Amino acid sequence: MNFLKKHTKLQLFILLLAVFIIPINSYAYSKYIVPGGETIGIEVNSDGVLVVGFYKVGNEYIGKEAGFEVGDLITEINDVEVNSIEQMAEIVKDEAMSNELDVTIERNGKSSDLSLKMVCSEDDVCKTGLYVKDQITGVGTLTYIDPNSKIFGALGHEIIEKTTGEKFEIKDGEIFEANVTGTTRSDGGTPGEKNATYDRNTVFGDIFYNKESGIFGNYQYSFDTDKLVEVANPEDIELGAAKMLTVLEGSTINEYEINILNIDDSSDTKNILFEITDEELLSKTGGVIQGMSGSPILQNNKIIGAVTHVIVNEPKKGYGIFITTMLKEGEKRANE
């Protein structure tokens, strides 16, 4: 009996010890990171070819009649994998004599096959009735670089394909140098935007994730480790004064004053409600504009989040995401 009691106590001790040595946080992001603020060009390539619309061939929408829908992702044609419009065009040309394609698509996470009858002319020019897309290019803001893992985060929200309104499923992509040439003001319920030119020869990094909390990838360019800023946890954030880092002209990053109005830890991405108070910024942009997405938000010498959304009818106001949410998502790749 005594042995059983002693054995039970020993088991309990071992169990408690095992519980205590389980790591509480498996995320490996750094406590100090490099804040961004740079305007970047963004180019992402789809994992397949996306159907974004239809056109008439003769008097018929042959793509619709074949069963295609906007948002379908073409992954194979005649059992050949398709990753680009160029590949698709080559297959279509090769199959001109048959006038018919067996197309594999993904829709709502499920794969299915459709038969598409093309209309081909005597010189083997074929029409499919499908408008397709395999790439998106745009402008955003770099949020951070982790100096240890070299992982970067940007935008603070996912890239959406405008026609479908859905997240763009990417195969890969790049971020590269961009220079702001001017801004269009937010006005009358219409969000403004940054206007920029690109330099695709100066690539900063490759993209591996397009997630709800931003785009993430490996940073390959040089960066200044003398400008490290401490990462704030959500409970460190206070109502009141803060700063936003962004570019309004050329490539110069400036600080602009904002005021944090509310903090919401129940939302996935709209965690920080803020209002722009900086008169210079308001005079140039009228408030939050497209292209500011990803602009870092700092408070008390810590990075707390990134700009994500504008409130269209009140462009002085916008939302931000917690920086820790972005860092955790980015570091998932390092743990895979």
Catalytic residue positions? Answer: 157, 278, 293
3-state DSSP assignment of residue 36: coil
Q: Which two tokens stand for residue 173?
A: 């992509």
CA-to-CA distance for 181 and 192, rounded, in angstroms? 14
User: DSSP secondary structure string, 295-323?
Assistant: -EEEETTEEEEEEEEE-TTSTTEEEEEEH
Cβ atoms 158, 210 nearer than 8 A = yes
- Per DSSP, helices labelled H in the chain are 2-20, 62-65, 85-94, 279-285, 323-335
3-state DSSP: the chain helix, strand, coil percent, rounded to 5?
A: 20, 50, 35
- Residue 100's identity, in one-letter code, is E
Q: Which two tokens stand for residue 39?
A: 């305007």
Residue reference for tokens 């409600």 = 273
- Residue 48: which region, alpha, beta or left (left: phi > 0; alpha: psi -120 to 50)? left
Q: How far is CA 323 from CA 109, 156, 165, 250, 311, in A?
A: 30, 9, 25, 26, 20
CA-to-CA distance for 276 and 193, rounded, in angstroms? 16
3-state DSSP assignment of residue 136: strand
Burial class (CB in 10 A: 0-12, 13-18, 19+), 247: buried
**CA nearest 274: which of 251, 249, 240?**
240
Cα within 13 Å of Cα(272), Cβ side = 35
Q: Which two tokens stand for residue 236?
A: 């460190």
